[in-house]
Amino acid sequence: MDPLYSLQGKRVFVAGHRGMVGQALVRALAEENVAAILTAPRDQLDLRDRVAVARFLRQEKPDAVFLAAAKVGGILANDSYPAEFLFDNLELETAVIRGAFEAGVERLVFLGSSCIYPKLAPQPITEDALLTGPLEPTNEWYAIAKIAGIKMCQALRKQHGARYISVMPTNLYGPGDNYDLATSHVIPALLRKAHEAKLANAREFVIWGTGTPRREFMHVDDCASGILHATRYYDGYEHINIGLGEDVTIRELAEMVMQVVGFEGRLVNDATKPDGTPRKLMDASRLHALGWHAEIPLREGLASAYEWFVENHAAAA
Length of the chain equals 317
**Cβ atoms of residues 85 and 74 within 8 Å:** no
Residue 231 CA to residue 283 CA, distance in Å, equals 19
**What 8-state DSSP symbol labels residue 59?**
H
- Asked if 70 is part of the footprint of ligand GFB (rule: CB under 6 A), the reply reads no
Active site annotation includes 5? no
- Asked if 19 is part of the footprint of ligand GFB (rule: CB under 6 A), the reply reads no
- Asked if 171 is part of the footprint of ligand GFB (rule: CB under 6 A), the reply reads yes
Among 89, 139, 154, 178, binds ligand GFB (CB under 6 A): 139
- What spatial distance separates the first Cα and last Cα of the chain, rounded to whole Å? 44
Give the CB-nearest residue to ligand GFB: 74
Among 38, 168, 220, 250, binds ligand GFB (CB under 6 A): 250
> With CB under 6 A, what is the number of residues at the site for ligand GFB?
23
**Cβ atoms of residues 21 and 220 within 8 Å:** yes
Q: Which of 142, 164, 173, 234 is catalytic?
A: 142
Strand partners, 208: 270
- Asked if 243 is part of the footprint of ligand GFB (rule: CB under 6 A), the reply reads no
Q: Using CB under 6 A, which residues numbered 261 to 290 contact ligand GFB?
A: 273-276
- Asked if 24 is part of the footprint of ligand GFB (rule: CB under 6 A), the reply reads no
- Asked if 207 is part of the footprint of ligand GFB (rule: CB under 6 A), the reply reads yes
In angstroms, give the least distance from the CB of 167 to ligand GFB.
14
Nearest residue to 68 via CA among 182, 231, 188, 184: 231
CA dihedral sign of residues 191, 194, 198, 200: positive
Nearest residue to 33 via CA among 49, 18, 4, 12: 12
The binding site for ligand GFB (CB under 6 A) comprises: 74-75, 78, 113, 115, 138-139, 142, 171, 184-186, 189, 207-209, 213, 215, 250, 273-276
Active-site positions read: 142
